[in-house]
Amino acid sequence: MTFAIIAHDGKKPEMVDFLLNNKDHLKGINLLATSTTGSHVEEMGLDVQKMMSGPLGGDAQIAAQVAQNKVDAVFFFRDPMGKHPHEPDVQMLLRLCDVHNIPLATNPASAQYILKGLIR
């Protein structure tokens, strides 16, 4: 299984907490992340394949993986209150998750439900 892990700057602490609380469940799962989020994941001791930073094309790189059915779930903790210059890439990623029927979590609560469902 492969999970994509992305978090806007204001949501990175929530992503780290989510991953720490579920570290045991993530063993054996390939993690794919945008650059900065991936660096936080590495600091936790998890292996991760890092793409470019989101604003530099990382969201689009992950979207391409989704379109090729190489991702089983996307955990994208978005900051709905912030402005993001790469919003078109974000929307493309969300759209492709819907097009390809890929589970998408945009907050810790939905991520927890998806993780529990996928690890059963």
Catalytic residues, which ones? 59
> DSSP letter string over 24-46?
GGGTT-EEEE-HHHHHHHHHTT-
- Dihedral over Cα of 65, 66, 69, 74: its sign: positive
Domains and CATH numbers, the chain: 2-119 (3.40.50.1380)
pLDDT digits (tens, 9 = 90+) for 6-51: 999 899 999 999 999 999 999 889 999 999 999 999 998 899 999 9
> What is the DSSP secondary structure assignment for residue 20, as one 8-state letter?
H
Q: Which residue has the tokens 């793409």?
A: 51
Work out the average pLDDT over 92-108.
Answer: 96
Residue 74: its H or E element: strand 73-77
Residue type, 94: L
Report the mean per-residue pLDDT for the chain: 92
**Range name among 64-73, 100-109, 110-119 with the lowest pLDDT average:** 110-119
Work out the average pLDDT over 62-91.
Answer: 88
The pLDDT score that the predictor gives to residue 90 is: 87
